[in-house]
Chains A and B, each alone.
Chain A
Amino acid sequence: MTTKVDQSSGLAAAAEARIDDLQRRYPTKAATLLHVLWEIQWQDGWISEDRMRYAAKRCGVPISKVLGVVSFYTMYRTKPVGRHHVQVCRNICCHIMGAAPLIEHIKAKIGVGEHEVSADGKWSFEEVECMAGCAWAPMMAINEAYHENLTPEKADRILGELV
């Protein structure tokens, strides 16, 4: 779980410096909103309402715009996920290579279903659309890292190594 932090007075200094730099270089401040949201999510793991208010102020846009953007993109999270966020591709090439049984296998192994977080906060799970790993299907991503050419055994090994 994330620790309680003051969410109104900005991000870590390095993140603020990166945002300052980008706001000098982009044609408008508003255009850096996706960057600001990424910085928030990298730091906190998710984006709270307080943080959205902060992003609105930082980019000089209304809060409604921030809400619109956060809800449009699938990767921005409005609640925390597990320490290991498991995303398995369900799309056509992965399906052809056995994604459907693999998805059932992985869900059973980690004991969480779609958009669920395990009680101990270790796992969360999500089916995702094509991640451009088609030639190395089936595939999953755990947090950022891609794991490709999966078999149930290989998935077990990868998941089993995580603490």
Chain B
Amino acid sequence: MTKVLTGNWGKKDSHLLATYEAGGGYSALKKVMGGLSPAQVIDEVKASGVRGRGGAGFPAGMKWSFVPQNTGKPIYLCINADESEPGTCKDRQILEFDPHMLIEGAIICAYAIRAKIAFFYIRGEFDLPYRRMVKAVEEAFAAGYLGKNILGSGFDLDFLIHKGAGAYICGEETGLISSVEGGRGEPKVKPPFPAVKGAFGCPTIINNVETLATVPWIINNGGAAYKQFGTEKSPGTKLISVSGRVKRPGNYEVPLGYPLQKLLLEDCGGMQDGYELKAIIPGGSSVPVMPAEKALTVNLDYESVAAAGSLLGSGGMIIIDHTQKMPELLEILAHFYSHESCGQCTPCREGTGWAHRVLKKICHGEGTKADLDLLLSIAGQMSGATICFLADSLVMPIRSFLTHFRAEFEALIKAEVPA
């Protein structure tokens, strides 16, 4: 099938400008600069139906159309390469293997929303992806794809690489903005939404790396052609990161709606010998876990996974085998979200830490029956009560682990001593 995102991945020196151009790279930008208006670009992206690949699945073209063009303020684009959601490791390979595809998509987006600066926000730990991007950006400036008067169109765009320094929360769009502004990565209350009032108080669009990397293909081939992949409501292809004890873990580009079972058994070669499938977290660590039988019935599109009780999220598919202890995995997630809570909201700051302490107690065999209800009660008090979605990112695992695997937790509860 056609590869929208991964077509160049096997090529030698796929990250270099010369390779990208030899394969037709920057032809979409030339097409845009040669005579498409910003509105025409937005219409094409809207027609493609491509939805944000960072987790929330919001239609990209629609988001771009929310940017007010009459405020007199500069407009900014932020490219989200923070990729920190456990299970997700796709954006980094776009940066490693095809950085120019992302840059081209970002320039086209910036043109469509009339942005002045594109901030490329990359997590601080990334090394090879960072070096490849630094090099690719230099090449793009030198070739006249970035900078002043791009391809003689009169459009100017600066491109700044903003290196994070270790904080999951900077992947949340308003946390990212705080970090771009030079501060602690603390999320901000919405509304106002960033498209209206974002970085430096100016209209700002934030898009995930994978979302922007699809744009050159859409411009070259048309929104209608993109829609031929995927389902009616989830058009296009998606990168799925598969981790865990399968024979061939890695990133797979599949049309949305692809059967999970086919990905697991055919593409990934099934489970490693001696391991049985127990459960799957289909969309990054914050979405609900699904027991094996249920997971094997879903198709990988936003609607199908949601109907089965979980979310496609970022496409970080975590395969859990029969040797894993579910309370231990939940304890790890609680530790993670508690560690990454920025601390602004009491329910999140206190709730994630409290849930972690309770889970630790349970894992050490010191929990009581009441602790399971306590966990659910903590989750209930965290849900929907905070500035950003980090708190709910632990609520979903707590509820789903306890719904589907309660017996494993109960088995760890020490026998109640009769009074």
Report yes or no: A134 in contact with B84, Cβ–Cβ below 8 A: no
Q: What separation, in Å, do the CA atoms of A73 and B339 have in the docked complex?
A: 11
B residues 77-111 in Cβ contact with A at 8 Å: 83-89, 91-92
**What is the interface residue range for chain B against chain A?**
35 or more
Of B10-18, B64-72, B241-249, the one touching chain A:
B241-249
A72 x B332 contact (CB < 8 A): no
Q: How far is the CA of A89 from the CA of B318 in the complex (A)?
A: 15
- Determine the residue in chain A with the shortest Cβ distance to B81: A132
Is A92 within 8 A of B332, CB to CB?
A: yes
Pick the interface stretch among A9-17, A29-37, A109-117, A153-161: A29-37
Interface pair A35/B241, CB less than 8 Å apart? no
Of listed B83, B91, B165, residue having the most chain A CB within 10 A: B165
The CA of A22 and the CA of B162, in the complex, are separated in Å by: 10
Most chain B CB within a 10 A radius of its CB, from A27, A76, A133: A27
Determine which of A65, A76, A134 lies in contact with B165 in the assembled complex, contact meaning CB atoms within 8 Å: A76
- Complex interface bits, B209-227 against A, C-beta within 8 A gives 1, otherwise 0: 0000000000000000000
The stretch of B1-9, B121-129, B361-369, B381-389 in contact with A is B121-129
Question: How many Å lie between the Cα of A92 and that of B245 in the bound state?
Answer: 12
Shortest C-beta distance, A131 to chain B (Å), equals 5
Task: State the Cβ distance, B123 to closest chain A Cβ, in Å.
Answer: 7
Which B155-176 residues have C-beta < 8 A from chain A?
Answer: 158, 160, 162-168
Chain A interface category by residue count:
35 or more
Tell me whether B245 and A97 are in contact (CB under 8 A).
Answer: yes
Question: Does the CB pair B162–A92 fall under 8 Å?
Answer: no
Whether a CB of chain B sits under 8 angstroms from the CB of A141 is yes
Decide if B165 touches A25 in the complex (CB within 8 Å).
Answer: no
Segment among B44-52, B180-188, B303-311, B406-414 that sits at the interface with chain A: B180-188
User: A65 is contacted by which of B127, B183, B328 (Cβ under 8 Å)?
Assistant: B183
CB pair B242 A22 closer than 8 Å? no
Whether B112 sits at the interface, judged by CB under 8 Å, is: no
- Supposing A92-B332, A96-B244 touch, asked if A74 and B165 sit within 8 A by C-beta, the answer is yes
Q: In the complex, what residue of chain B is closest to A149 when comparing beta carbons?
A: B249
The CA-CA distance from A91 to B332 in the complex, in Å, is 6
- Which positions in B face A, CB cutoff 8 Å? 74, 83-89, 91-92, 117, 123-128, 158, 160, 162-168, 179-185, 199-200, 202, 241-245, 249-251, 281, 285, 316, 318-321, 324, 328-329, 332-333, 336, 339-340, 342
Given contacts A31-B182, A92-B285, A96-B329, 12 further A-B contacts (CB under 8 A): A26-B160, A27-B199, A30-B181, A34-B162, A73-B124, A91-B332, A91-B336, A93-B318, A96-B321, A129-B168, A134-B243, A146-B127
7 tightest CB-CB pairs across the interface, nearest first?
A73-B165, A74-B166, A75-B166, A33-B182, A72-B184, A130-B86, A134-B243
A→B interface (CB under 8 Å): 22, 25-28, 30-35, 37-38, 59, 61, 65, 68-69, 72-76, 90-93, 95-97, 128-137, 141, 144-146
